[in-house]
C-alpha cells in the first residue's frame, strides 16, 4: 500500500462553492461523433484555475442546467480549463452546441484526486474505458511531466470502436515515447483495424508491470471498473493500490444535498476517487 | 535451441503439468510460423489443431457477406488459440489470421484426442486447462456484448 494515500493538495475549496463563475469558451474540439472538448477561460481577469488530477467541476449551461464534469486538462497549465464530455443528455447536448465566445458557469474544483504524488516510485497502470480516458488525462500529464519519479507507465485503453478513440493524436504522440506503453483495444472493429479486439480486461494479464509495486488508476463505466479491479487483483495488485473514479447523480457537489450518496459516502465530497477496497462492497450492490 | 517439451513446460497453459504428460504431449507439437495475412485456419475447415502463440498477434474473424472478414477477438503472445478440435464435428467456427509475424507451437489435436482417450487422467488435466480458457473467453465476450461504453 502506498505510504501516504493523499498528499496535501495545492488547491483550495472555492470561497463561494454554490456560486458559478462565468467562463468564456475559447475553443471547441470535436473528439468523435458524440464527444467534444471545451477550452474555457475566466470571463473577467486572467486568474488561473488550479486543480488536482481527478477533480471535477459543476458546469452550468445557463437556462438549461448544471452537471458535474471531470477536468481533462493539464494541471500544470491551469490558465485554461479543459473539459471533455459526451453529448448524451439535455445539458451535454446544449453544451455541445456552444461556440467559441459563448459563456458557461463553473463551480469547482471539487472532490478527491488521483494519488499521483503517493504513486512516486511505483509502476503506474492506467486503465481507461471509453470517455473514462478524459478524467485520467490530467494524471497522465502530471506523471509524464515528472516521468523520472515513476517506474513503468502503462495505459490500457478500451473503447467501443476505432472511431470512438479519444485524444487520438495525443495517444499517437505518447506512444512514440520510449517511456510509456499504450495498448488500445476495441469491442467492434472493421477489417481495417490491426490492433487488439476485445474488452479492456483482456489486456491486464499481458501488461508489463510489477503487481506488487503498482498503483492502478481506473476510470470508465462502473461495470468495466468492477471487472478491471477483479482482474488487477488476480494479477496481484492490492485493493488498496487500485483507485477508481465513481460517478453518481451529483447536484450540490459539496455533500449537502445527498443525491450522490453511496452507502456511507458522498461521491462528490468523499470521492470521486476512491480505493477499490473502499468501494469493493458497494460496486455490486443492487438498488443503491 | 529449445525443444518443444521445454517450450511447453514454460508456457502458462501447461504450468505445473506432470513432466510425463509434457513429454507425451510434446510428441504432438511442432513449430510453425505465419506471415502477416496468413490464415492459421479458416471457418468450416476441419479442426485438428490448436496453437500456443509464442510471438505475434492473431485476429479471430467471422465472415459477413456485406462487411467482409470482421475481427471479433484477438489472441497474442502466450495465449492458446482453438478448441474446436476438442468436440465434434471438429470444424473451425471462426477463422484466424496472423496480424503480424506469428510464431506458435501447433498441437495435433487428433493425436491428443487419442492420447486423452487412452489415459483419462491426462484427458481430465487437459480438459480442465481448456475449461479455464473457455470460461475466460466467455466472461470477456459477455462484457463485450454488454456494450458498456455505449
The reported pLDDT for the residue numbered A14 is 73
Mean pLDDT of chain B: 93
Gap from B96 CA to chain A (nearest CA, Å)? 13
Helices (H), chain A: 90-96, 133-145, 168-175, 222-235, 267-270, 276-283
In this structure, what CATH number is given to the domain that contains residue B94? 2.60.120.10
The reported pLDDT for the residue numbered A6 is 40
Cis peptide before A272 (omega within 30 of 0): yes
ipTM reported for the complex, 2 dp = 0.86
Domain count, chain B: 1
For chain A, domains (ranges, CATH) are 21-110 (2.40.30.10), 123-245 (3.40.50.80)
Using CA of residue A193, residue A197, residue A199, residue A200, what is the dihedral sign?
negative
User: Nearest CB to A198: which of B74, B99, B148?
Assistant: B74
- Per-residue model confidence as pLDDT tens digits over A217-240: 999 999 999 999 999 999 999 999
User: Nearest CB to B69: which of A130, A191, A206?
Assistant: A191
| Gap between the Cα atoms of A38 and A70, Å rounded | 12
A206 touches chain B (CB under 8 A): yes
User: Nearest CB to A224: which of B70, B139, B148?
Assistant: B148
Question: Domain containing B64: what range?
Answer: 4-149
What chain A residue is nearest to B36 in terms of C-alpha separation?
A194
Which of A159, A162, A191 to mutate to test binding with chain B, by most B CBs within 10 Å of its CB?
A191
Question: In which band, very low, low, confident or very high, does the pLDDT at A13 lie, cut at 50, 70 and 90?
Answer: low
Rounded mean pLDDT of B8-14? 90
- Per-residue model confidence as pLDDT tens digits over B20-46: 999 999 999 999 999 999 999 999 999
| Gap between the Cα atoms of B123 and A240, Å rounded | 40
For chain A, the 3-state helix, strand and coil shares in percent, each to the nearest 5, are 25, 30, 45
| Contact across the interface for B74 and A159, Cβ inside 8 Å | no
A196 touches chain B (CB under 8 A): yes
In chain B, which residues have their Cβ closer than 8 Å to the Cβ of A185?
Answer: 74
| Gap between the Cα atoms of A109 and B57, Å rounded | 43
- Per-residue model confidence as pLDDT tens digits over A70-97: 999 999 998 899 999 999 999 999 999 9
Amino acid at each position: 500500500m502506498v505510504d501516504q494515500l493523499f498528499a496535501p493538495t495545492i488547491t483550495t475549496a472555492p470561497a463561494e462553492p454554490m456560486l458559478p463563475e462565468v467562463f468564456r469558451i475559447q475553443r471547441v474540439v470535436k473528439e468523435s461523433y458524440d464527444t467534444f472538448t471545451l477550452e474555457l477561460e475566466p470571463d473577467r481577469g486572467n486568474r488561473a484555475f488550479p486543480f488536482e488530477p481527478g477533480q471535477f467541476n459543476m458546469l452550468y449551461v445557463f437556462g438549461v442546467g448544471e452537471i458535474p464534469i471531470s477536468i481533462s486538462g493539464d494541471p500544470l497549465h491551469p490558465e485554461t480549463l479543459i473539459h471533455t464530455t459526451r453529448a448524451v443528455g439535455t445539458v451535454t447536448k446544449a453544451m455541445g452546441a456552444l461556440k467559441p465566445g459563448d459563456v458557461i458557469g463553473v463551480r469547482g474544483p471539487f472532490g478527491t484526486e488521483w494519488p499521483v504524488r503517493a504513486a512516486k516510485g511505483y509502476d503506474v497502470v492506467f486503465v481507461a474505458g471509453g470517455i473514462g480516458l478524459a478524467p485520467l488525462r490530467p494524471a497522465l500529464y502530471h506523471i509524464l511531466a515528472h516521468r523520472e519519479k515513476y517506474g513503468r507507465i502503462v495505459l490500457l485503453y478500451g473503447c467501443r470502436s476505432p472511431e470512438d478513440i479519444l485524444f487520438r493524436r495525443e495517444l499517437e504522440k505518447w506512444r512514440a515515447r520510449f517511456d510509456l506503453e499504450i495498448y488500445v483495444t476495441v469491442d467492434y472493429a472493421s477489417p481495417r483495424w490491426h490492433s487488439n479486439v476485445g474488452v479492456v480486461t483482456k489486456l491486464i494479464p499481458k501488461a508489463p508491470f510489477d503487481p506488487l509495486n503498482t498503483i492502478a488508476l481506473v476510470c470508465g463505466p462502473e461495470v468495466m471498473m468492477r471487472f478491471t479491479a477483479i482482474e488487477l487483483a488476480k494479477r496481484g495488485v492490492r485493493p488498496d493500490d487500485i483507485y477508481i473514479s465513481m460517478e453518481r447523480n451529483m447536484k450540490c457537489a459539496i455533500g449537502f444535498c445527498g443525491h450522490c450518496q453511496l452507502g456511507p459516502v458522498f461521491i462528490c465530497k468523499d470521492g470521486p476517487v476512491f480505493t477499490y477496497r473502499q468501494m469493493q462492497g458497494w460496486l455490486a450492490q443492487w438498488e443503491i | 535451441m529449445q525443444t518443444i517439451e521445454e517450450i511447453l513446460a514454460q508456457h502458462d497453459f501447461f504450468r505445473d503439468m506432470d513432466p510425463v504428460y509434457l513429454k507425451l504431449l510434446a510428441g504432438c507439437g511442432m513449430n510453425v510460423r505465419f506471415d502477416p495475412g496468413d490464415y492459421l485456419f479458416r471457418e468450416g475447415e476441419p479442426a485438428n489443431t490448436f496453437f500456443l502463440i509464442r510471438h505475434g498477434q492473431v485476429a479471430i474473424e467471422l465472415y459477413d457477406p456485406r462487411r467482409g472478414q470482421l475481427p471479433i477477438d484477438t489472441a497474442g503472445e502466450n495465449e492458446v488459440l482453438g478448441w474446436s478440435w476438442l468436440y465434434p464435428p471438429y470444424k473451425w467456427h471462426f477463422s484466424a489470421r496472423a496480424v503480424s509475424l506469428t510464431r506458435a507451437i501447433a498441437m495435433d489435436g487428433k493425436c491428443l484426442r487419442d492420447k486423452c482417450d487412452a489415459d483419462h487422467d491426462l484427458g481430465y488435466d487437459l480438459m480442465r486447462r481448456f475449461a479455464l480458457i473457455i470460461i475466460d473467453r466467455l466472461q470477456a465476450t459477455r462484457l463485450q456484448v454488454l456494450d458498456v461504453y455505449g
